[in-house]
Structure 1
Amino acid sequence: MKYDPIDSNLFKKNRKKFMAQMKPSSLAVFNSNDVFKTGADSTMPFKQHRDIFYLSGADQEDTVLVLFPDCPDPAHREVLFVTETNDHIAVWEGEKLTKEKATEVTGIETVYWLKDLDKKFFEMMTQCDTVYFNTNEHYRQAVEMETREDRFIKKTKAQYPAHNYAKSAPILQRLRAVKEPEELELLQKACDITNHSFRRVLDFVKPGVWEYEIEAEYLHEFIRRRSDGFAYTPIIASGNNANVLHYIENNQQCKDGDLILMDVGAVYANYSADMSRTIPVNGRFTDRQKQVYNAVNKVKNEATAMLVPGTLWKEYHVEVGKLMTSELLDLGLLDKADVQNENPDWPAYKKYFMHGTSHHIGLDTHDYGLLWEPMQANNVFTVEPGIYIPQEGFGIRLEDDVVIQESGAPKNLMGDIPIEVEEIEDLMNK
């Protein structure tokens, strides 16, 4: 991995928090992701399952974590299984975790080779009553493929039908939503890399460049600063492309007078940044572009101030909708009749701002979090209002990542990334 080593104490804390929530006489199992095939003998780059990474720091395929806090054998209260490495594998695929290195990375003392999983797991299953499975219950999940975790669950239920089964997801939803200080440092690193990359792009963009060239500038700077690349598929949307919310083709030429909406973020140590900025191709906003831009920025700043402990996500979005409605009235995009006659289920402002304002961010770009419970300190949220005007040929979205504090205003992890109109224009015309 490109990132610097992470202190294993983070993962020890995470495991301790998880095990404190488990039922008596229970164990929990976490599998790494599959290596996905693309055809013939080719594979996609491996991406670790965020839950096993959160609990162990093991960033390698073919890895299984078992947590069994009440195990009568103290050596089996935390167990990691990894693929046995050898000189042949080292030559062809590079260094893999040895048992000693696995302990150093994870803080787990008991490490077995994966070939011993069935035997050791049988022994532990004879000593427990309940098994926690790691099912995907994220509110946005839409995964159709069968995962390594799915196969393990099927196999275990068939072999051990008399056990009780529970879900790890409700525990992880709460734990992962509240970041440890070390996690906030990793998120800050991802945001700092994104900052450097955005400044590089400001110096690069001019009329005639192509969207994919801008994408390449981001990636170059990400990689040279020890990121593994984009945290999600980047959006580089010039002109009317910005009015397609998930535009990812990035294959058009940027024209003089147009704006470019860029929704990009670096990933660092599996932690995601999520930034949106909108800049003028020629380095100068028109008066109308500036007017709309400042309206979006105003909504972003006022929405950010609402992110304090106790805020409810649903009510927060209602209040942001009121802010946006006021700005759209001032911009002449809505009139009073539009608001008076609006459908409560799809308010008038949704014509120009149709997506949500904030989501949890962390190990996943849309991270774990319980949206029906009050916000609390060390939750990390995006703030990303936008105004999209196809009839005027541009769309604007601005987005930062912020940490809720115990008291006072949230901390903006992207506070050093240029956002004001004057900053953008000055940097593009220096």
Structure 2
Amino acid sequence: MDGMSETTDTSTAPAEPTSEESGRNANRSTTPTSEGFKDFIGSGWAERDEPLPSARESAAFAAERRSKVSAAFPGQRLILPAGDMKQRANDTDYPFRAHSAFAHLTGWGSDAEPGAVLVLEPEGGEGHVATLYFRERAGRDTEEFYANPAIGEFWIGPRPSLAHVAADLAIATRDLGELSRVIDRVDTSTLVLREADASLTEQVDHARIRFAAEQALSTNAQDAPFSLEVGGDHEPDGELARVLSELRLVKDAYEVAQLRVAIDATERGFGEVLQELPRITSEVRGERVIEGVFATRARLDGNDVGYGSIAAAGPHATILHWTRNDGPVVPGDLVLLDAGVEADSLYTADITRTFPVNGTYSEVQRKVYEAVLEAADAAFAIVRPGIVFREVHAAAMAVIARKTAEWGFLPVSAEESLEPDKQYHRRYMVHGTSHHLGLDVHDCAQARRELYLDGVVEAGMVFTIEPGLYFQPDDLTVPAEFRGIGVRIEDDILVTADGAENLSARIPRTADEVEAWVRGAGR
């Protein structure tokens, strides 16, 4: 809260820290501690009038996803944290965003509570009982209400009740304080989503080791060697992460609808950037203006940007992940804008357009742009159920190899360069052409290779197609007029029953369309 103290009354003794966060700055706390103050601040509040909501749209889809996870791990307890706040500096934190697997299995999006944990408890021979644990809000007669800057409602605003969330998500809820009973029941078959919450994962690890040791002692096997490895990629928790990742490879109807929401907002954001070009070109750090304009749309229409926006002008466009965004935007240069709005459901778009600042591509800029567009169109043309995912990349690379060979940039022919032991054309495009898209901008990243890169494409998959050409300013293998030009065109593709749909096709793509788009933006 940028230097704001709890109160300016320094005559009272400092209150005891009520959370880890408040403890970071306990030495400057001036919260009153007198009984009179406590009685006064805890009284005189109107009754809350909060009718319980109907279940949100995502609840039924989340329940079906939980059923699939349950079937994959019969008889095993599954602990799936949302994660907690992450420190940015001293007593300030980054904005909270729940882990994607947690959001997928609960339907809780941007309004998810930090520290929440989903537990799937095995029930009898088959199935699981799902329970969502999170901090019940404290009453206004408690010290937490006014003295805890991390979770007190006086500080951060209203928080949902257990009953409200149970109705909203159609799932049983319990106070987070009861999670200790789950930890007490942890056995060696219990699995945890390791990457979501390091502290909780450590508790589960210790509980599993303790259980295994007790089992060994109870069976008179104390003299036998005992060990239980935790962590790493090859233990059972890794299998849980893979299953949760692979579950998202094919999107359901709700997910596709939310991706459309994110893409529509991203389209608006791109248009607003172009409308601000006069201001963008007048600022020393015009790339920052691009970033800020797009971020405003992301916050208006969604939760945030889905990833750090790349607003790369001129030679910065040749840097694949340029996120410093601190350069000027100069007429005559190109701007490569790679950005996506993350909807309140946490599904994100991922779209790139490369446009001329002055509304007209130069002859060389247009030549590079149209080569990249041809590669993108060639990749899109083969997308349909039944192909292997890696074929999308191969189709784009065939065009990139042919174009760079035609321009005389390769030491061999295009056909030779495409051989696995050559790949000279990749100097100018070292990244891949496609990745899955959803709750994560690089979704399903923990899926097995045989289901991802070598997997068969299915209807309902959503992935990007994003070829590019990048000629570094000091690359002596290309003529001087090509140096410093970077172009990428990226679209979000839905695989349909008999082909594919370009979900972002409404955003201008051809060179002529982009030029007209830029010229018309200020009208």
The TM-score normalised by the length of structure 1 is: 0.88
- 3-state secondary structure, aligned to 1:26: coil
Q: 1:352-406, CA deviations, whole angstroms, 9 ceiling, x for partnerless residues?
A: 1111000011111110043232121111111000011224221000001111112
Q: 1:173-201, CA deviations, whole angstroms, 9 ceiling, x for partnerless residues?
A: 22111111001111111111000011111
State which of 407, 411, 423 in structure 1 corresponds to 2:498: 407
Q: 1:277, CA displacement in angstroms?
A: 0.7
- 3-state secondary structure, aligned to 2:83: coil
8 Å CA contact 2:188–2:212 kept in 1: the answer is no
Alignment of 1:9-408 (within 5 A): 9-23=60-74, 25-58=75-108, 59-71=112-124, 77-86=129-138, 87=140, 88=145, 89-108=152-171, 110-122=172-184, 125=186, 130-136=189-195, 147-161=198-212, 167-206=239-278, 207-209=281-283, 210-225=286-301, 227-268=302-343, 269-334=345-410, 336-337=412-413, 340=416, 344-368=420-444, 369=447, 370-371=451-452, 372-391=454-473, 392-408=483-499
- 3-state secondary structure, aligned to 1:60: coil
8 Å CA contact 1:30–1:66 kept in 2: the answer is yes
The verdict on how the C-alpha distance between 1:146 and 1:157 changes in structure 2, with shifts beyond 3 A counting, is same
The verdict on how the C-alpha distance between 1:245 and 1:129 changes in structure 2, with shifts beyond 3 A counting, is closer
| 2:468 counterpart letter in structure 1 | G
In the alignment, what sits opposite 1:142? none
8 Å CA contact 1:57–1:105 kept in 2: the answer is no
Q: Which moved more, 1:337-346 or 1:394-403?
A: 337-346
The verdict on how the C-alpha distance between 1:69 and 1:146 changes in structure 2, with shifts beyond 3 A counting, is closer
Distance 1:151 1:345 in 2: 45
8 Å CA contact 1:37–1:44 kept in 2: the answer is yes
Q: 1:105, CA displacement in angstroms?
A: 2.9
The verdict on how the C-alpha distance between 1:152 and 1:305 changes in structure 2, with shifts beyond 3 A counting, is farther
8 Å CA contact 1:292–1:331 kept in 2: the answer is no
Q: 1:146, CA displacement in angstroms?
A: 7.4
8 Å CA contact 2:401–2:414 kept in 1: the answer is no
**Structure 2: stretches of 5+ with no match in the other structure:** 1-54, 146-151, 216-227, 229-235, 474-482
- 3-state secondary structure, aligned to 1:333: coil
Distance 1:93 1:71 in 2: 41
Distance 1:73 1:96 in 2: 35
Q: 1:320-365, CA deviations, whole angstroms, 9 ceiling, x for partnerless residues?
A: 3222111223344336457647773450111111110000111111
The verdict on how the C-alpha distance between 1:326 and 1:246 changes in structure 2, with shifts beyond 3 A counting, is same
The verdict on how the C-alpha distance between 1:345 and 1:98 changes in structure 2, with shifts beyond 3 A counting, is farther
| 1:8 counterpart letter in structure 2 | A
The verdict on how the C-alpha distance between 1:96 and 1:215 changes in structure 2, with shifts beyond 3 A counting, is same
**Structure 1: stretches of 5+ with no match in the other structure:** 137-144
Distance 1:342 1:383 in 2: 19
| Rg larger in structure | 2
Which of structures 1 and 2 has the larger relative contact order (alpha carbons within 8 angstroms, sep 6+)? Answer: 1
Distance 2:394 2:71 in 1: 36
8 Å CA contact 1:34–1:148 kept in 2: the answer is no
The verdict on how the C-alpha distance between 1:236 and 1:389 changes in structure 2, with shifts beyond 3 A counting, is same
Distance 2:289 2:97 in 1: 25
The TM-score normalised by the length of structure 2 is: 0.73
State which of 402, 416, 429 in structure 1 corresponds to 2:506: 416
- 3-state secondary structure, aligned to 2:167: helix
| 2:179 counterpart letter in structure 1 | L
Distance 1:427 1:319 in 2: 28
| 1:381 counterpart letter in structure 2 | F
8 Å CA contact 2:291–2:309 kept in 1: the answer is yes
- 3-state secondary structure, aligned to 1:429: helix
Q: Which moved more, 1:385-394 or 1:356-365?
A: 385-394
- Identity level (%): 27
- 3-state secondary structure, aligned to 1:13: helix
The verdict on how the C-alpha distance between 1:323 and 1:244 changes in structure 2, with shifts beyond 3 A counting, is same
Q: 1:73, CA displacement in angstroms?
A: 12
Q: 1:177-232, CA deviations, whole angstroms, 9 ceiling, x for partnerless residues?
A: 1111001111111111000011111222244441101111111222222x122111
The verdict on how the C-alpha distance between 1:180 and 1:338 changes in structure 2, with shifts beyond 3 A counting, is closer
8 Å CA contact 2:332–2:358 kept in 1: the answer is yes
- 3-state secondary structure, aligned to 1:388: strand
Distance 1:406 1:80 in 2: 36
Q: 1:52, CA displacement in angstroms?
A: 1.0
The verdict on how the C-alpha distance between 1:315 and 1:418 changes in structure 2, with shifts beyond 3 A counting, is closer
8 Å CA contact 2:305–2:342 kept in 1: the answer is yes
